[in-house]
Structure 1
Amino acid sequence: MLVAAKTSGATPLVIACRNGHYDVAEYLIDRCQADIEQPGSVMFDGETIEGAPPLWCAAAAGHLEIVKLLISHGAKVNTTTRTNSTPLRAACFDGHLDIVKYLVQHGADIEVANRHGHTCLMIACYKGHIKIAKYLLFLGASVNRKSVKGNTALHDCAESGSLEILKLLIEHGATMDVDSYGMTPLLAAAVTGHNHIVEYLINLPHLVPRGDRIDALELLGATCVDKKRDMIGALELWKRAMYDRYYGAGQPIPKKVTQKVAAYDYTAEITEIEALDDLMADPDEMRMQALVMRERILGPAHPDTSYYIRYRGAVYADAGKFNRCIELWNYALDMQQSMLERLNPMTQSSLFSFTELFSFMMGEEGKHTTRGRLVPPVDVLEVLRVFKKAVQEVEHGQTMYKDMIYLTRVLVVTLHLACLLTRLIEHHMQSETVTKDIHQAIYHLVNLKIRARYGRTPLHLACCQDVALLGRYKACQFPSPHLAEVLLKVGADPDIKDDDGNTPLHLAAMAKPCPASVAQILLNNGAHLDVVNNNGDTFASLLKGQQVHELVNTAKFTRLSCCAARVIQQFKIPYRGVVPAALESFIANH
């Protein structure tokens, strides 16, 4: 029992194999009959690996003698972790060539891929282990095999910058396939900024046609602008691409005409070599050219397209150009919502960035930024515009029960935006029309009848301290009396219970300290003061360091019917089947 017991998810044998303690491992196997296949949880590079067998741990950590010990005692050489990673793949990851060879000699399958479809060859290429890549290719590893997302070993080389391995793969017949985003290894190298990979590949006409070569040079130039801040290098690359496009061998290849976008300041792509020189005098125009170019080449579905739009917006915000930032971020958010699955982490991140930006602007309004610009007032219509997009994300994502954590995150961010809107109503007298629009948008959220984790509604979350994402900003404090009041005004149920039987009033009581304003708003809108949760706790019993009479006038909110129900419960007077059926649930709640 002791040998099979786990500490932090790992057995003694797993720990010994992970840390290279040969004598301990041998003792546990020979004298204690430890289960040689019993998996455990181990840490590598700050990441927890679940379901790792002892052999996997020893191979990943580079302990050859322990690997030999385990295999000599019958360890299965192709056993996997929960993510389907084999000991061989683990050894390939960190470049343990001696272990790779030993495992292969004892029957390891070089083609077993993990759950993402990444093979041993792919990981060796990505990590730059050329000796292991050579060995696997010598064994006949599939050079053009694709992962779940469609990338090949050649993609992995291009992304990591391993030119020598890339040459090796091409010698073994690697082809220029596209992944699920339509990206070739050449474009992957251009996106990551590996000039040496791009320069090598574009000189292989049997692999790279002229059009692909032009795209790669243009995309690499855009990467120079946004990732490397190398304007001169970008200009040279764009000139080369332009010359090849219009004066290279064969017919000219005109640029695809794209629609002018307000977020890009209606920038049109330059189509003349002479006009490129003028860009050096206008860095901002050059940055817009890079965004337009990247979207044309990669398309809106590629993560880097929206990533660099958001990046450029953040740079504008740091410079105090908040309107440019908001316009770019909205464009990126629209792109994500139209192209990505609902509740995607990238969309979550965009919504959260808006929340943080608006909170900062509300807190710093009228003050100077580090660049000397005044922080302008927040445009309530811009906050409302983003809030409606967040509600749309919640609405379309609520059927994805497998992603309840994601749904909760997006709902919490949505409520932070709603909190900002309710503060803007209170502190900046809005027109009746704007106030009505805000209330209608929040009503739409309430009317979705959405339930987050633990069965909590938007009103529960508005009264809960744990959901605060931006505690350093006064405009976005939780529990939020302003938000709770509007939620109740548009129809939220003040006594609705979550999975633990807590009403919003219970959650408010758990805040430290409980804000009196939230409790009073709930009670004024019909919340019951003495409702019990599943543990039998009331609002009063959950308060810590506070007395109920300090927060609310209990006499005002105590009803005769509630007193009667409590007496029935206190003295355990039989009531089911005696009182009208409609009263049974009422009594049970006290």
Structure 2
Amino acid sequence: MTVPAVPCTPTIGESASKANKMEFRNVVFNAARDGKLRRLKVFLDHRPKDEVKQLVSAKTNGATPLVLACRNGHKDVVEYLVDRCHANVEQPGSVTFDGETIEGAPPLWCAAAAGHSAIVRLLTDQGANVNSTTKTNSTPLRAACFDGHFEIVQYLILRGADIEVANRHGHTCLMIACYKGHLKIAKYLIAIGADVNRKSVKGNTALHDCAESGSLEIMKLLLASGARMDVDAYGMTPLLAASVTGHMHIVEFLISKTDLVTRKARIDALELLGATFVDKKRDMLGSYKLWKQAMEERVINGELVYPKQVIASPISAYENTVEVASLDQLMDIISDPDAMRMQALLVRERILGPAHPDTSYYIRYRGAVYADMGHFERCITLWMYALDMQQKMLEPLCPMTQSSLLSFAELFSFMMSENRTRSNAGNDRSPVNFCDIMTVFNKAVEEVRMGQLNVRKNPLNSISGDRDITYFNRTLIIILHLICLLTKLMPHLNDEQVHQVKESVYHFLKLNPRGRNGNTPLHLACARDSSSVGRYPICQFPSLDAVQLLLECGADPNSKDNDSNTSLHVAAQNKPAKPLLVQTLLDAGVHLDAVNSDGRTFESLLKGQSIHEVINPMRFTKLQCLAAQVIKREGINYSEALFPQLERFVDMH
């Protein structure tokens, strides 16, 4: 069957509208993504070569047609795009695997990750680089190892793929094969010389990966191939890694190897595994048996050779619980689940130390359990202890610290919501302890202060720079939610407490924090997108109360982002724009006729609304603003005739 020609097919030359160009790109992209070869040929076969080149190299949602065809396994489409359309086999794009977006993925990486061996062969025959990488330095070989595509692994290595290229975290192909439990691939990589003792950026080895995933057969293979029991950056051995993740069969195997594991290491592993049984498996009896076995390991020939260092805990979060030091004491708490849980926290902190992520994670987890039971004070005490630990041990803007701050905001919001329910029933007590929310707010501001130093150190166009500004922006939004919660709490506060709130917000603004695209806290407080920060709703934005508090505490109403938008421009993009919010900004001194870098004013950004539905523009139109507009409209050269302050004033109109 012959493919019919398309008469009068429009081109994408200079005369084509922006909408037409986008439509043409979408046709090609959708056909490639869905494997519609016939539709692709109908659309492209009769176009000039330069137009075809533009269409097949254009990106939609970050991906080219070739990238999506490779991702989805459409070999005939890939062949057509490469042979007929001369698509660049190295042009990367963004693709999604298991809900995660991979940035800068070359077509070969996409095919290898998805297991499409025929496309992998086709692309390499067309000259695709077998060692090309994504933005995170993942190679096609590593992608194939991740999902266990053994045939592709063999083929890529035969075509020159480097088995030792690691991703940005330092994880090699062997490490990912071990972590995913792909024995056949691990055996093949070891047979051709993969380094079994290679370390990642954080110091873990393939043995650690086996221990974390529970791959005993691969662990035996690694040990037989000369793998060492090294420690990672947290001081974790593979044995402790298995204990943390609860893989009892790995722990039992390793502690039986007396030539590899010391008695002290066996004791720590058993105690840590017992803590995992308490918190992760909720198996109190199993935990008791493991802790009992550890205590017995401390005794040799009836003598206590390895005593536990029992120190009365000064930590109020653990209710000053003391670690048990004898079998009798252990027996006394076996029937008290809460006491067992406190023991688990103490054991984990003693063995892993405060720097290990699991230490603070399980403290937060235990606090969340108390919160679910309505024991908010115990939850807050534990979470505050974990937050202190994170800010002392982790780098600024760490996602774990952000998660703690966000959890506090969500908890305070829930407590206020619960209090409203009680108030309606006649109980009008203060919903949240003022000291608690102010402590969290000030800790969040300190995170921003320290985070500013990180953001300034890393260029914005680098991976670390992009990551830092994303984390920084999220921290700012969390702070805005805390500010919004504080405005709801203020009716319950005395004058001194209200002053304390305003003083803290003032010091926050003095830092002049800027989020993504140069957004100030005032910009973010006016943006609807700021409502979405976690899984649970906290505050709704734009928030008039938050905006008023920010302005009262010194926020500059005319500050601009990187596109010269004021907070008023941001307010205009809420559909519909809120009249009270707009009037508040204008009363604070925002210029109604200020233009952004696209020459757009507040009025021109309104969608589906007349400016008269929002405010009376005559009330906020000033004579000097009209004069500035005339100067700009008439094209008068004012740069040398005006003082710098007046020049800046005219510039904004």
Match of 2:515 in 1: 452
Pick which of 239-248 and 576-585 moved more.
Answer: 576-585
Match of 2:559 in 1: 496
- What is the CA–CA distance in structure 2 between the aligned matches of 1:270 and 1:382, rounded to whole Å? 32
* Contact kept in structure 2, 1:363 and 1:473, CA below 8 Å: no
- What is the CA–CA distance in structure 1 between the aligned matches of 2:602 and 2:217, rounded to whole Å? 68
- What is the CA–CA distance in structure 1 between the aligned matches of 2:535 and 2:400, rounded to whole Å? 23
Distance 1:415 1:7, change over 3 A: closer
Q: Quick check: 1:197 aligned with 2:250?
A: yes
Q: Quick check: 1:324 aligned with 2:387?
A: no
- What is the CA–CA distance in structure 1 between the aligned matches of 2:125 and 2:538, rounded to whole Å? 65
- What is the CA–CA distance in structure 1 between the aligned matches of 2:572 and 2:78, rounded to whole Å? 52
Task: Say which of 144, 158, 166 aligns to 1:113.
Answer: 166
Match of 2:151 in 1: 98
Distance 1:536 1:27, change over 3 A: closer
Give the TM-score of the pair, scaled to structure 1. 0.90
Match of 1:467 in 2: 530
Match of 1:253 in 2: 306
- What is the CA–CA distance in structure 1 between the aligned matches of 2:395 and 2:526, rounded to whole Å? 30
State, as a whole percentage, how many aligned pairs show the same letter. Answer: 62
Residue deviations 1:30-60 (CA, integer Å, cap 9, x gap): 6666655555544433334444445444433
Give the TM-score of the pair, scaled to structure 2. 0.81
Match of 1:272 in 2: 326
Distance 1:538 1:132, change over 3 A: closer
Secondary structure of 2:280's aligned partner: helix
Unpaired segments ≥5 residues, structure 1: none
Secondary structure of 1:253's aligned partner: coil
Matches within 5 A, 1:144-163: 144-163=197-216
- What is the CA–CA distance in structure 2 between the aligned matches of 1:505 and 1:454, rounded to whole Å? 16
Task: Say which of 404, 407, 419 aligns to 1:365.
Answer: 419
- What is the CA–CA distance in structure 2 between the aligned matches of 1:474 and 1:68, rounded to whole Å? 49
Task: Say which of 413, 436, 460 aligns to 2:499.
Answer: 436
Match of 1:139 in 2: 192
Task: Say which of 401, 408, 413 aligns to 2:478.
Answer: 413
- What is the CA–CA distance in structure 1 between the aligned matches of 2:483 and 2:436, rounded to whole Å? 12
- What is the CA–CA distance in structure 1 between the aligned matches of 2:610 and 2:108, rounded to whole Å? 59
Residue deviations 1:405-431 (CA, integer Å, cap 9, x gap): 211111111121112112211x22x22
* Contact kept in structure 1, 2:477 and 2:533, CA below 8 Å: no
Pick which of 397-406 and 325-334 moved more.
Answer: 397-406
Distance 1:22 1:193, change over 3 A: same
Pick which of 186-195 and 546-555 moved more.
Answer: 546-555
- What is the RMSD of the two structures over their aligned residues, measured on CA atoms? 3.1
Secondary structure of 2:334's aligned partner: helix
Q: Cα distance, 1:472 vs. partner?
A: 11
Matches within 5 A, 1:189-588: 189-247=242-300, 252-258=305-311, 259-365=313-419, 367=421, 377-401=431-455, 402=465, 403-425=468-490, 427-428=491-492, 430-469=493-532, 476-549=539-612, 551-552=614-615, 554=617, 556-569=619-632, 582-588=645-651
- What is the CA–CA distance in structure 2 between the aligned matches of 1:17 and 1:522, rounded to whole Å? 50
Distance 1:34 1:191, change over 3 A: same
Q: Cα distance, 1:382 vs. partner?
A: 0.9
Unpaired segments ≥5 residues, structure 2: 1-48, 456-464
Pick which of 29-38 and 390-399 moved more.
Answer: 29-38
Distance 1:88 1:490, change over 3 A: closer
Pick which of 375-384 and 349-358 moved more.
Answer: 375-384
Pick which of 34-43 and 307-316 moved more.
Answer: 34-43
Distance 1:43 1:558, change over 3 A: closer
Q: How many residues align?
A: 584
Pick which of 572-581 and 187-196 moved more.
Answer: 572-581
Amino acid at match of 1:484: V
Distance 1:570 1:90, change over 3 A: closer
- What is the CA–CA distance in structure 2 between the aligned matches of 1:326 and 1:131, rounded to whole Å? 48
Q: Cα distance, 1:108 vs. partner?
A: 3.6
Distance 1:420 1:46, change over 3 A: closer
- What is the CA–CA distance in structure 1 between the aligned matches of 2:372 and 2:83, rounded to whole Å? 63
Matches within 5 A, 1:53-68: 53-68=106-121
* Contact kept in structure 1, 2:474 and 2:533, CA below 8 Å: no
Q: Cα distance, 1:196 vs. partner?
A: 0.7
Distance 1:139 1:316, change over 3 A: same
Amino acid at match of 2:137: N
Q: Cα distance, 1:276 vs. partner?
A: 1.1
Q: Cα distance, 1:342 vs. partner?
A: 0.6
Pick which of 16-25 and 451-460 moved more.
Answer: 16-25
* Contact kept in structure 2, 1:471 and 1:477, CA below 8 Å: no
Distance 1:27 1:452, change over 3 A: closer
- What is the CA–CA distance in structure 2 between the aligned matches of 1:514 and 1:471, rounded to whole Å? 24
Amino acid at match of 2:449: E
Amino acid at match of 2:488: R
Distance 1:526 1:205, change over 3 A: same
Residue deviations 1:453-483 (CA, integer Å, cap 9, x gap): 2222222222232212379999723222222
Q: Cα distance, 1:160 vs. partner?
A: 0.5
